[in-house]
Structure 1
Amino acid sequence: MASWCVRAVRQSYSVLASPALTRAPPRLLCTATQQKNGPGSVEEAEKTEQSTADNVLTEEKGQLEEQLKEMTDKYKRALADTENLRTRSQRMVEDAKLYGIQSFCKDLLEVADILEKATESVPKEEVTSQNPHLKNLYDGLVMTEVQIQKVFTKHGLVKLNPEGQKFNPYEHEALFQAPVEGKEPGTVAVVTKVGYKLHGRTLRPALVGVAKAS
């Protein structure tokens, strides 16, 4: 019986002393491995990790800079488009103020033409104090014509009577060309109908005859 107890104690001691139960913890094994490999391997691993992190950061920095450049370019374009739109809108408003009456002015030009023809058709030799009725009529026509021209000038409407001036296709409309003595070629020899400009813009070109070389 005593020998059996001794054998049981020995078997228990052998089990407790086996390598599976006396294995070192992972941290100790890792430390042992690092010590086995030496400090140079640890430094190389750290350098590799640092290099990889630097490459990732550099790539992300480049992407962010590219996005910033793209957004800045879009912002500048949007700002330029907004400024152009504002400038065009302001110009349209100003043009509407200046030229919004041009249709009305064109209608008034016909009245001015009739008034001018009526004044020119009155025989000047008969406009005397001996003929007071005709004289009063003529004076009234002249005063009305002067007044309507003042109104035209007040609103930026200016008469074009280019006789003797150089022919300008933007202000004159040539009806014919003919050699005219005493007139240089290319100049306006005859004005059959005066023109008008509204704030510097030709509203109606003057109808003219242009002198040419004989």
Structure 2
Amino acid sequence: MADDTKSPEQTNGAQQGAPEAAPQDTPEAAEIDARDLELVQLKEETAALKDRLLRTAADMDNLRKRAEREKAEATLYAATNFARDLLSVSDNMQRALAALPAESREKADEATKNLLAGIEMTERELLKVFNRYNIRKVETVGAKFDPNFHQALFELPTKEYPPGTVVQEMQSGFAIGDRCLRPAMVGVAKAEG
């Protein structure tokens, strides 16, 4: 009769025994490795496609934002050339009003007073329309000289204003949005010396 009991060394030896056949040795194991390799490749491809999709979505979002910004700028600056041409109309209205001194206005007949009032109203309406389209007069007298919005015609020695300050306006300047439509023609303070 055979003894079925095994010593602990024999049991451990059987469990730790000779190495079993490596998984690659069987056709099923080779098939599992091929599936694992294919799974790894599919995961890498999925990750790459996901990355491309996210980048494309980000590019599309940037493109949409840029298109909106360009549309807003185009709308804002579309009237630039037309507005620039209308500036001479505003200048001529100012000249017409300045041509008659205040004392002569008081002595003028009713028709002349009405004509001047009409010119003033037309000029105010033109400036309202400019304002509606974000066209504004450039700040001049008392402002610091800004070469982006002012064109210096002369320098004036003075102690009244610090050097580099606009002290006199010869012609009004206008801006549309953040851009200069026409620079103001100005005189700039310089230190007396």
Whether these two folds match at TM > 0.5 is yes
Query: Is residue 88 from structure 1 mapped to residue 66 from structure 2 by the alignment?
Result: yes
Does 2:85 match 1:113?
Answer: no
Distance 2:99 2:155 in 1: 27
**1:112 and 1:45, CA in 2 relative to 1: closer, same or farther beyond 3 A?**
closer
CA distance in 2, matches of 1:77, 1:123: 68
Q: Distance in 1 between matches of 2:173 and 2:189?
A: 19
- 1:119–1:161 Cα change, 3 Å: farther
- State the identity %: 37
Deviation of 1:198 after TM superposition, in Å, equals 2.0
Matched residue type, 2:174: Y
1:102 equivalent in structure 2: 80
TM superposition score normalised by structure 1: 0.70
Computing the radius of gyration from Cα coordinates, the structure with the larger value is 1
Secondary structure, in 3 states, of the residue corresponding to 1:44? coil
Deviations 1:175-212 (A, max 9, x none): 33332230111111121111112234322221222212
Q: Secondary structure at the match of 1:117?
A: helix
Aligned CA RMSD, in angstroms, stands at 2.6
| Unpaired runs of at least 5, structure 1 | 1-39
More helix by share: 1
Q: How many residues align?
A: 175
| 1:1-214 alignment runs, 5 A limit | 43-44=20-21, 48-49=25-26, 52-129=30-107, 131-214=109-192
Deviation at 1:53, TM superposition (A): 4.3
Q: Secondary structure at the match of 2:106?
A: coil
Counterparts of 2:24 and 2:122 in 1: how far apart (Å)? Answer: 100
* CA displacement, residues 123-173 of structure 1 (integer Å, 9 cap, x when unaligned): 221112553343333222222222221222222221124111112233222
